Structure formats: C-alpha cells, structure tokens
Structure 1
Amino acid sequence: MHGAAGEDSVPITRHIVKMAILLNVVLWAIAVVLIVYEVGLIQAYPAGGDESQQGDRRMQYVAAVVEYPALGDPTKEDPQLVIGANCERYIRFMRQARDQSADIIVFPECGLTSMNLPPTREQLRKVLTPIPEPQNNPCDDDSAAQVLRNLSCATREARMYTVINIAEIEECANRTGCPDDGALFYNTDVAFDRNGTIVAKYRKYNLFVEPGFNVTEMPEAVTFDTDWGGRVGLLTCQDFLYQEPARTLVEDLHVTDIAYPVAWFNELPFLVATSVQAGWSAARRVSVLASGLHRPRAGNAGSGVYQAGGRPLVAALPTADNVGAGQLLIAPVPITRAPPLETRPTAAPPAPLPVRASHIHVKTSEAGDLLLYQDYLAPYHAVELLPGAKHAVRICHAGDASVGAATFCCDVDAEIDLSTPPPSSLLPYRYMAGIFSGVRNFGGVKTAGIKVCGIMACGGETDAGGEMCGLWNTSLSAATATLHRAIVAANLTASTTFHLPISLTGELLPVAADKLRYNADWHGASVQIESPVTDLLVLALWARDTTLDGDQPLGASATAA
C-alpha cells in the first residue's frame, strides 16, 4: 500500500509544478500587457521625468506661453507669406514646449499677422482666414486653410492643447446684419485639443483700435474641458477690463483657467501688463495663461503664467527689444478641477482669499526700449506719505457728479523708512496716497468708469498730477526707501463692477507673492504688503464701473512716458 501511494504522488507533484509554471507565465503576460499599456499612455501624453514626477502630474499640468515678436508687415508683403512665416515659428515653439512636457501652449494676439493690418476692409480680406466650427479637424481636411492645417497637424504631433489668435473671415451673404461686402471679420481665438481638433472658437468682444473688425451680437462665453479636469475659458486683451464675457466664464461656467492672447499697451502706474494679469487672476480666482505680443518700442510686452489667486509662477516684461524669435515661458500649474456644468453650485459670497507662495520666479531684461504710457493723474486727490512716520489716513475723491460718479473713499496705512540716501546720480522716489472716482480716456478711443486708490512712488512732485508721479525712471531710486507696512482698503462692492489688486516693483513685475496679501468679500477689499519691500512703485485697488462707460472723461487721455 505504501508503494502504491508513492507512485500516485509523482504525477500529482508534476501537475502542481505545471500549474505553478503556467501561473507564472500568466502573471508575466499580464505584467507585460500592463507595461505596454502604460508606455502607450506615456507616448500619447508625453510627460518625461521619473515616477515621482509622473505622480506630481496628477496634481498639476504644465502650461507654456510665448512672449512673441511677430514677423512681417502684411501692408507691404504678401499677407499669406507673413502668416506662414509666423506659423513656422509657432511650430518650433510647440516642439520646444513638447520637449518640456507641456500640456498646453498659448500664443499672443496678432502674433500670426502682426499689428500692421491694412486700413480698409477690402485690403484686410487678404489677411483673414476662414475657421471651421468646433469638432472639425483641419489636419484631416484638405479644404482647410493652410495655416490651420499646419497648426492642427503640429498640435497633433506635439500632443498638447494649443490656443492661437487669428484674424477670421465668415461669409454671411443674405443674412440679417451682414455688412455690404458680404462677410464678417473677427479677432478670434482658436483652441485645438491634443489630436488637432478644434474644441473652441472665441470672437473678441471688447475691441480696441481695430477698424474693420466686427463683434458678435452678444459677448460669447467660450470654454473647453481638458483631460486633466480643468475648464479653460478664452479671453483676449481688453476683455480683462470689461465685465462680460469674463463674469459669465468665472461665475456661471466655473472656468478654472483662462487662456489669454494679448497685445497689451503698458501704462503706468496701474495698467502694466504683468500687474494686471496677476491682479486679474487674484480677483477672479482662476489661473491665467497670458501670452503677450512683443513690440516694446510701441508699448506692447508682458506675459506670464499665474496660479489661481494671483501667484506669478513665471512672468516676464522684457523692457529691451532683444528677445529674438521670442521667449518661451513654462511652468507647472496646480490643477483645479471644474464641476460638471449640470451640477454647478450657486454662486456664493466669496470668502477672504490670501495670496501666498514660497517664491516667485521671474525673467527680466535690461531697460531701454519699452515705451511706457502714463495715466493722466491731475484729477487725482493725493496725500504725501513722509518717510520716518507711520501713516493711517482716510482719503476721499468727490466723484464728478456730471457723469454720475459718486464720492469714493479708502483707507491707507503705511510705514516708510528712507534708510539710506541715494547715490548722488539718483533722486529718491517720494510716496503718495492717491485716489480717483470718475471717467478716464483710453487713448482717445474709449472712455471708461473707474475708481482707484493706492500708494504710488513719485519723483519729486508733491502732487499726483506732477510729471514724475507714477512713472518708472532710471534716474530715480526706489531702493533707498523701504515700505515696512502698506495696506490699501476700500468698499468696492456697491458702486463698482469689478476690481483688481495691483502691485508693481521697479522691475515692472508684481510684488513677490510671499510678500503680498489680497482679501475681498461683500464688505470690501484690501491689498497689503506683509514684509518689507524696497522697490515698490505701486500698491493699489483699481476698479471698473462699466455703467459710466462712454461718458466724457475728466481730463486728458493717457500719454506716452
């Protein structure tokens, strides 16, 4: 019996061994399949880096924007050759951004065509491109315009989202409201997904010195959802200074990020591109991807990536005309995931939101070529803030009743120390608290209702309207004065449409985020410096009252500095 039992155990053992081998083969096969699948994902959405970086990508996406100097002049050259040359440059930037794991890249306003556009609609037609509706893929469409095909195919190759500003033509013969020449001309932003498919098309609503272009009957709030869970809204340049469609994007559609092609005209002291971009992100509480046209001798410059709440992750305002073919700015952005639109929450009063960060990464250039415009400050009421003293003042401006502007007051708390005398070749800045409520002029083209209160560095004049107040000047030194504390607070809820916290240093960049705090609720707003700053040019609350737009301004328009 023992012998029989031993003989039976041999095949049983062999069977167990075979089963174990088979199980190992199955497990290895599953592992190989998983590895191949994972590699496939990495190839489809190239991330690069080690496993820890891959894990980080679940919490952030990588954004790229381009500070870009457009080539060519379509009034003197073949417009399609101009567009083609800039398109080739765009594709090079897309490949550079791909190599740095970018998920999205944004290009500036007028970057394909330049701002040298023909003055008549007949001539302008040659610059325009027909753009299909979303869900079309120009890369697969032989009938699509060549520039769209090239950009769509390059987007597919780079496997990233791409936002392009392009001058659009839409044929509209026999339609109500169609111009006599049978077409509508739009300043348009187009978004492509990773496969090169058009996923959004936004036609700029708030035009500025754009003769020949049309606007839609109502402002369009245009968004697209991303594969990392964000919802991106599209706005262009002057849209940042108007209520719509920005309000709808943020409050109703709950965008998490704004892609922002811009050709900004920099104006001291309150409307320098980088300070507006950071302030808009802080006030609206969304991330901003701002790509600026680079024409410093005309006043155009300024790009950056800003985390929701206003923290600059990377920002540049090159003051020299030396960026060559352009400057790629790239940064990882913490992900905010958008709620489904069908279950979006009802808007509630915003809670105070601090703007804090461990650092700010900036890129700057030597000064010299940037044309800076200056706001007309003579109508402002101002009080000088003397060094060596603590100031807690309430200042008011009796708004111009003829245009319906109400009296506006704010509180300024500051402590300034003139720590060291400036070098003999430099003059010191003096600080003023200034305030205004009324209507201002934008370049003789538009008027706008504003309320402003803030601290400004001034050069020698005791009055806000003095020539050197609110200016950046290499013959003046802000570094000799240290602001140990500075707070600007105001009630900006009842009579304003929206407001922006504005800060600016001598580098023409926002105050470092770890030194700045902004709060806003239904009772008012404040912006303050939480640690000493030695090169402050501006700290302010800048508000819009769009109900006053179109009225006559009190005083002259902005001038070049």
Structure 2
Amino acid sequence: MDVSNVLIFCLVSLINHANGYNYLDIVKVAVYEHNVTLPPFTVIPVTRDEAVRNMMENLKVIEYQAKKASDQMLKVFPVIERITIRGAKLLVLPEDGLYGYLFTRRTIYPYLEQIPDPKDPASTPCPTSRAGSEVQCFLSRLAMETAMFIVANMGDKQPCNKSIDTHCPLDGHYQYNTDVIYNPSGKLIAKYHKYNLFYEPAFDVPNEPEIVTFETPFGLFGVFTCFDILFHDPPIELIQNKGVRNIVFPTAWFDALPHLSAVGFHSAFAVKWEINLLAANIHHPKQNAQGSGIYSIDGFTAYTYDNKDQNGRLLVSSIPILKSKPKADNSQNRFLRVHDGLKTSNYQVSDSEFKAPVFHDIYDFVLVSGDYGKREICQKDLCCSIVYNRTENKNDLYAFGAFDGLHTYQGTYYLQVCTLLKCQNTNFKSCGVDTTYAATTFEYLKMTSTSNGYIYPEVMLSNNGMLELSNRWNFTKDGVLSVIENLENPLLSASLISRVYSKDKV
C-alpha cells in the first residue's frame, strides 16, 4: 500500500468514528415542513378534476424538495471531497400536506383515492397517471426518480357493505386519514390509518389501532400520525412491544404552549424512548402550526421552528442506524423513581404556594426566587422537586408547579406534570400563560418526579422570542432531568411530562 492510500485509509478511519458513530452506521434522512396551499373553502364538493389540480399545486412543491433532498451531498471530510454520504435515503412529508384541513366528510371526498393493500398486485409501481389514482402514481414515480423511501399523508376511501359490516358508514364507504410509504422502486410497501383523530369530521376511526412497520436497508421503521403520539396505541405497542426504534411521523401539529410545542414534545418523545423520530409538520404560523425535526437518542440532529418566515423548510441530516430491541417487559414502567426524599403524604402547603391554569389544567405552584435554591411541590399523588443555580434577572418570574389529573381540553388523557416555567410577566397570576420571551439562564438544574407513568422530559429555551431546543441536558433511566452546564439561552420551561395511560378513561 503506497503512502497516499495509507493516508486515505487513516482519514477514512477517523471519519468512521467521528461523533461517536461508525461511518457505516449512519444514514441520511429528510423531513419537509410544507407551507400547504389550501384549496378555496367550500360547502359544496368540488369535482375530482378540481381536487387533483389543487393537490398537484402542493405535489409540485414537494417534488422539487424531494429532488433537492436526494441530490444533497454531505462532505464528511472537506479535504477529500469524494468521501461523502450521498443524498437522503428517506423523506417524510407532513400530515394534510396535499390539501389542508378545512373539510367536512362530503367536501373531502373528491380528494380521496382508494389505496390498495400493500400486498395487493395493484400496489406495484404506476409511473403514468391512472384515473382515480393520480396522487398514488405521482408519489410512486417520485420515489423511483429520487431513489428514496417516501412517506406521505393522504386520504383513503374503502368501500364497505352495511348489511355485513355494522360499523359501515351510511354512505357505504370508510374515509381514513392515511400515511403511505413507497420504496425506491416505486412500490407501495405500507399504509397506516390514523387511529387517534383530532377533531377530524372528514375521517373515520379504524375499528382497531393498526401496528404498521416497514423494512429498509437501514433498519425497521414504524409509523403513526400526529395526535397518536399522545396515546398508548399505536406508539407504545410499536416501541415497547415490537422493539421498533425508528419512527416516521407525519403531523399537522398546532402548538399548545407551554408544554406541547411541536419541537418540545416530539424531541422529548425521542429522548425518552431512545429512538429516531422523523417529524414533518405543516407550516402555517398564523395558526401556530410550525416545528419539524429529525430527533434521535440524544435530542435532535436537526430541527426548525420559525413562526415568522412563511416559507416551508427542508431538513436533511444523518442519524444513527438503530437496531430493533427485543420485546420489553411492560408489566410496569421501566424506570424506578428517584424521590429525593419527597413528601408524598402529609405535605404541608406553604404561604408562597398558589394555583394557576396551564392549558386549562389547574396546577399547584410555588414561586422560584434567588440565584440558587430548592423547591418542592405536590398535587394529589404527585410530588416534584428541583434544585437550581441560575443568573437571576429581576424582570423574569419563574414558578415550579405540579399537576396530577385528567386533561379534558382538546382531547382527554391523564397527565402528571412537574414543570419549571417562566411566567408571562412579574405578576404571579401570569404563570402558565403563553410566553416565548425570557432573560434568565440556568447553570444547574435537577428535577425529579414521583410519577410512575411514562415520563417525557422537555426543555425549551428562548432566543429573542423564538422557541429553541438544547442538547445540554440529560435524562437518566431513573427518570431524572438534569442540566449540568450553562444552557445556551434563557430558559422558558423544563418539565417532566408523565402520561398515565391506564387512567385515560377514569
């Protein structure tokens, strides 16, 4: 081996171990946050031709972004330009990305297509358009042209017989909010019908939650949609019982601050489960719909959250290839709680405690003051504790709170939440009101919870009024959130959001 080859071999070896991953153990993926062109609102259904034209407006934009993602080259080492990771191998598009969300059952019907079972011969590639399958053929061709796996969201209609099927709707067919996955050969390899609908009168709920996976050369992937992420099925079944560690996630997520921003909760979900989560959102900032990301086991590899720019955003990044895990023991939550001596009974309320609403839930709060200290707060069976060190800003008021109860606004689900949040102003009555501005940085923070539910850790920062994520914090397997070095920007909130799925119907 001559000197030049030895040099190249050594450089490649260095590259292979950069960032802690082997070069052969990463794959490049993409998500596209799409500013959906909405069709004109109507109470009368349009024709199929009009519906196709409306969808093609969005598909042409998506086509451009897909080809851009597949053509991108990532220079692994700038001196040797030919050592690269080629374009993205998988692209995720958002929920409602073809037609928007302003529909009734009747008005969305022209936008639907009958999507075959992936095992059906009709799921083979259709490079030329077929009447009634224009969107499917477009996506099939796009997957072939870009040599990518493409995950898209569209409407599926399936006929049913009312005399045989007691669940069959009166109009004789089901309408489903559906994710479709095409492989680089243009074949439909999987489809998923959304189970947990969010005020979607245009669509039907499947009789049972579907557990859908698909194979790629870089791992097994699962799929679910938007509101699904807040519930047990199908997410927990896929991850905990099927061992899936890679999720594609089309969403049309409308922020519910302070705890349910798109980038905040979706990154928390990835960290909690130690998975890759590829989340593609729509981009409609006026409706608080923004925030997409490529999230992984340590937080994020790329994300976007921009409520000022009206343009869509393509994210392309490399993620570690994660192998599936064996089926987990789900007889109990996997984390043993670190209680730090919290008082779970006979808790005495102090004079500084108060109640305030957060997203329509009534929290118990205690004010946080001084450059350093410790606070504890309890509600019902939940007790929370923090230890902190910060650079206090007199214009910022922070409160530490606890909520243990059934959330019933815009969905019903049981929460146990420990949260440190910045109040909107210096009046304690503003604690829990939406805000994106803060000036106080935290140098150290440790938060614990007595919850026995499934805990999702969330840290949100403020950058001149823009929500921002950080990777400078840890979440350990005993359920403790900790900040061990200065956060990059002022803290908006740090939370342990626990879902107690078994109490959802209490």
Corresponding residue of 1:146 = 134
Question: Could you tell me how far 1:195 is from its partner in structure 2?
Answer: 0.6
**Which letter maps to 2:399?**
M
Residue from 157, 178, 195 that aligns with 1:188 = 178
Q: Deviations over 1:436-484 (max 9, x none)?
A: 11122333xx322211101101133554xx23545325xx5x22x2312
Structure 1 residue identity aligned to 2:92: V
When residues 489 and 294 of structure 1 are mapped into structure 2, their CA distance, relative to the original with a 3 A threshold, is same
Residue 416 (structure 1) aligned with residue 409 (structure 2): no
Letter of the 1:94 partner, please give it. A
Match among 402, 426, 434 for residue 471 of structure 1: 434
**Corresponding residue number in structure 2 for 1:128:** 112
Describe how 1:527-538 pairs up with structure 2 within 5 A.
527-533=481-487, 534-538=489-493
Q: 1:97 and 2:54 equivalent? A: no
Secondary structure in 2 matching 1:460: coil
Equivalent AA in structure 2 for residue 286 of structure 1: I
User: Is structure 2 residue 390 aligned with structure 1 residue 436?
Assistant: no
**Aligned residue type for 1:451:** Q
The letter for the 2-side match of 1:501 is P
Amino acid at match of 1:240: I
Say if 2:396 and 2:426, in contact at 8 Å, map to a contact too: no
Write out per-residue CA displacement over residues 211-253 of structure 1, whole angstroms, 9 at most, x where no aligned residue: 031111111110101112x111101111111011111110122
CA distance in structure 2 between the partners assigned to 1:470 and 1:527 by the alignment: 23
Instruction: Summarize the Cα distance change of 1:51–1:72 in structure 2 as closer, same or farther, 3 Å threshold.
Output: farther
Q: Specify the SS of the correspondent of 1:154.
A: helix
**1:242-280 residue CA offsets vs partner (Å, 9 max, x unmatched):** 011111110122112110001111111111110111100
Q: Secondary structure at the match of 1:267?
A: coil
Q: AA paired with 1:512?
A: S
Change (3 A) 1:114 1:346: closer
Shift of the alpha carbon at 1:137?
2.0
Letter matched to residue 178 of structure 1: C
Query: Out of 337, 345, 357, which is 2:323 matched to?
Result: 337
C-alpha distance in structure 1 between counterparts of 2:98 and 2:401, whole Å = 40
Preserved CA contact (<8 Å) 1:79 1:126 = yes
Identity of aligned residues (%): 26
CA shift digits 1:403-453 (9 cap, x unpaired): xxxx2111111123226x6xxxxxx2211111111122333xx32221110
Match of 1:452 among 417, 422, 430: 417
Give the structure with higher Rg (CA).
1
Q: 1:193: Cα distance to partner?
A: 0.9
Aligned residue in 2 for 1:526: 480
Q: Secondary structure at the match of 1:410?
A: strand
Q: Distance in 1 between matches of 2:158 and 2:324?
A: 32
Specify which of 517, 533, 549 is matched with residue 504 of structure 2. 549
Work out the CA distance in 2 between the residues paired with 1:321 and 1:542. 30
Contact 1:234 1:260 in 2 (8 A): yes
Q: Are the counterparts in 1 of residues 364 and 378 from structure 2 also a CA contact under 8 Å?
A: yes
Please give the per-residue CA displacement for 1:497-544, whole angstroms capped at 9, x wherever unaligned.
Answer: x2211110114545421x1100134xxx11111112341000010112
Does the 8 A contact of 2:127 with 2:138 survive in 1?
no
Alignment match, 2:359: 376
**Equivalent pair of 1:234/1:258 in contact (CA under 8 Å):** yes
After the TM superposition, which of the residue ranges 86-95 and 75-84 deviates more from structure 2? 75-84
Query: How does the TM-score come out when normalised to structure 1?
Result: 0.74
Aligned AA for 1:396? Answer: C
- Does structure 2 retain, via aligned residues, the 8 Å contact 1:456–1:470? no
Q: CA deviation at 1:549?
A: 3.3
The equivalent position to 1:218 in structure 2, one of 181, 200, 208, is 208
Q: Distance in 2 between matches of 1:379 and 1:345?
A: 37
Q: Which residue of 2 aligns with 1:402?
A: none
Q: Is the 8 A contact 1:314 1:330 kept in 2?
A: yes
Q: Check 1:260–1:166 CA distance in 2 against 1; reply closer, same or farther (3 A cut).
A: same
| Helix, strand or coil at the partner of 1:163 | strand
Length, aligned pairs only: 440
Question: 2:77 is matched with which residue?
Answer: none
Tell me, yes or no, if the aligned pair for 2:247 and 2:277 is still in contact at 8 Å. Answer: yes
Q: Is the 8 A contact 1:74 1:127 kept in 2?
A: no
Q: CA RMSD in A?
A: 2.5
Tell which deviates more after alignment, 85-94 or 202-211: 85-94
Distance across 2 between alignment mates of 1:134 and 1:51: 41
CA-CA distance at 1:124 after TM superposition: 2.4
Query: Do residues 234 (structure 1) and 223 (structure 2) align?
Result: yes
One-letter identity of the residue aligned with 1:87:
L
Structure 2: 5+ residue runs without aligned partners? 1-11, 73-86, 337-356
Amino acid at match of 1:542: I
Pick closer, same or farther for the CA change 1:435–1:187 going to 2, 3 Å. same
The one-letter amino acid paired with 2:124 is N
Letter in 2 for 1:505: L
Say whether 1:517 aligns with 2:474: yes
Q: Which amino acid aligns with 1:527?
A: L
After TM superposition, the structure 1 = structure 2 runs for residues 78-93 of structure 1, keeping only pairs within 5 Å, are: 78-93=50-65
Q: Residue in 1 aligned with 2:314?
A: 328
Q: Distance in 1 between matches of 2:430 and 2:196?
A: 31
Change in 2 beyond 3 A, CA 1:282/1:65: same
- 3-state SS, counterpart of residue 322 of structure 2: coil
CA contact (8 A) 1:131 1:169 kept: yes
Pairing 1:540–2:489 present:
no
Question: Equivalents in 2 of 1:124, 1:144: separation in Å?
Answer: 14
CA distance in 1, matches of 2:232, 2:97: 25
- Which of 453-462 and 207-216 deviates more? 453-462
Consecutive unaligned residues in structure 1, runs of 5 or more: 1-49, 353-373, 399-406, 422-427, 552-561
